[in-house]
Structure 1
Amino acid sequence: MTCPALIDFEASCLPDYGQSYPIEVALARVDGSSRTWLIRPAESWRFWDWSPEAEALHGIAQDVIARDGLPPAQVLAEMQAFAGHCQVYADADLDAYWLEVLAHAAGMHPPFPVRYLGEYFAERGYTRPQVVSALDAARERLPVEHVARDDASRLALAVRLLLDGETAA
């Protein structure tokens, strides 16, 4: 089983600090596979905001994304290929927003919809204690936060633990 896939973005600033753009994105599937992409800023984002607070959280500097980031269209194409037929979920609506920002910069439509992870849990009848237990167990195994690959992988692991019935509640 490889589906669903979980998505997480890191951005140029925190939502309260201004107009942010995506700088890193990761997709992780419940089989443990994952991909991460650094995103080269689009020209249209040139005057958007960058905050030192966000950089301190994710640890990605502007010169790194300018040098090592991939163009938005390439990131989208590779994300679509990696996601394959999986439904994609996120734990925050900001991830869907940043996917739209990324797609708009490339002159494209988002390659897939981003659904809310809470809906996935509810549709499958998981209780709040089960979900909290799975998230806690995943956080113990993958404690690093604000790194897109780790955040997406932690969510995918929590889903896997629930699917495998490895949580107590």
Structure 2
Amino acid sequence: MRRHHEEGVHPVSLPVLLDIEASGFGRGSYPIEVGLARADGTRCAFLIQPADTWTHWDAKAELLHGISRARLIREGYPAVEVARWLNDELAEIGVAYSDSWGYDNTWLALLFDQAGMLPRFRLEALRRLLSEAQMMLWRETKEQVVHDYDIRRHRAGDDARLLQLTYSETLRLAAE
């Protein structure tokens, strides 16, 4: 795969991608890290301190993302600060995209509810942006991007950037 652009430098604006890592899946799970890949290709992420009522913990999820509950308590930011940051980042753009909309939207709602705030943006499913040709290229291209860019999986900022790079590359390949 050819790299057409240096990391963070793109001639066209890319969609903003959002990814959330969580304490597990299903009932009782909650967001532990939120990450963004911005339109200019830069990325950022914040760990989230668990609220007192957020007690669910899945050891299998911890094996994937490598973030311990103790680390969240020690290094995470309160939900209100993370929600405020997301609104500051995304209010003007108005939309971010996720490849796991069902889960991420639920965890985002939980975060904003805990913060006592409303999001000033909406979260949309990434597949709404993809052409049929991009969808057909997605899996193989994503694996190649992980390899080419040496991306660490299951961390919110890196996963958001992976999705954004995969989107960009499938767009390029579909146009060829």
1:56 match: 63
Contact 2:87 2:119 in 1 (8 A): no
Alpha-carbon separation, structure 2, partners of 1:21 and 1:41: 8
Superposition deviation, residue 103 in structure 1: 0.5
CA distance in 2, matches of 1:154, 1:142: 10
Question: Counterpart amino acid of 1:52?
Answer: A
**TM-score normalized with structure 1 length:** 0.84
Do the aligned partners of 1:7 and 1:88 also contact (CA within 8 Å) in 2? yes
CA distance in 2, matches of 1:64, 1:157: 29
Q: In the TM superposition, what is the alpha-carbon distance from 1:86 to its structure 2 partner?
A: 5.4
| Amino acid in the other structure paired with 1:4 | P
Question: Identity of counterpart residues, as a percentage?
Answer: 33
Aligned counterpart, 2:5: none
- 1:49-88, aligned counterparts within 5 Å? 49-83=56-90, 84-85=92-93, 87-88=95-96
Q: How does 1:17-166 map to 2 (within 5 A)?
A: 18-45=27-54, 48-83=55-90, 84-85=92-93, 87-92=95-100, 93-122=102-131, 126-140=133-147, 141-163=149-171, 165-166=172-173
Point out where structure 2 has 5 or more consecutive residues left out of the alignment: 1-11
- Report the AA paired with residue 154 of structure 1: L
Whether contact under 8 Å (2:18, 2:160) holds in the other structure is yes
Q: Deviations over 1:2-54 (max 9, x none)?
A: 44111111111233xx4101111101124320110010112332xx3111111
Q: Is residue 5 of structure 1 aligned with residue 16 of structure 2?
A: yes
Output the CA distance in 1 between the equivalents of 2:141 and 2:87.
Answer: 27
Does the CA contact (< 8 Å) of 1:96 and 1:113 recur in 2? no
Separation in structure 1 between the aligned mates of residue 104 and residue 169 of structure 2, nearest angstrom? 23
State the alpha-carbon separation in 1 of the partners of residues 60 and 68 from structure 2. Answer: 11
2:9 corresponds to which residue? none
Structure 1, unaligned stretches of length 5 or more? Answer: none
Letter in 1 for 2:138: V
Match of 2:3 in 1: none
For 1:157 and 1:142, how far apart are their aligned partners in 2?
Answer: 12
Give me the TM-score of the superposition, normalised by structure 2. Answer: 0.81
The residue matched to 1:9 in structure 2 has which SS? Answer: strand
The letter for the 2-side match of 1:139 is V
Q: Deviations over 1:92-132 (max 9, x none)?
A: 1201111001001011123321111111114xx64432333
- Contact kept in structure 2, 1:5 and 1:86, CA below 8 Å: no
CA distance in 2, matches of 1:30, 1:38: 21
**Aligned residues of 1:40 and 1:65 also touching (Cα < 8 A):** yes
Is 2:134–2:170's contact at 8 Å kept on the other side of the alignment? Answer: no
2:47 alignment partner AA: L
- Aligned CA-pair RMSD: 2.2
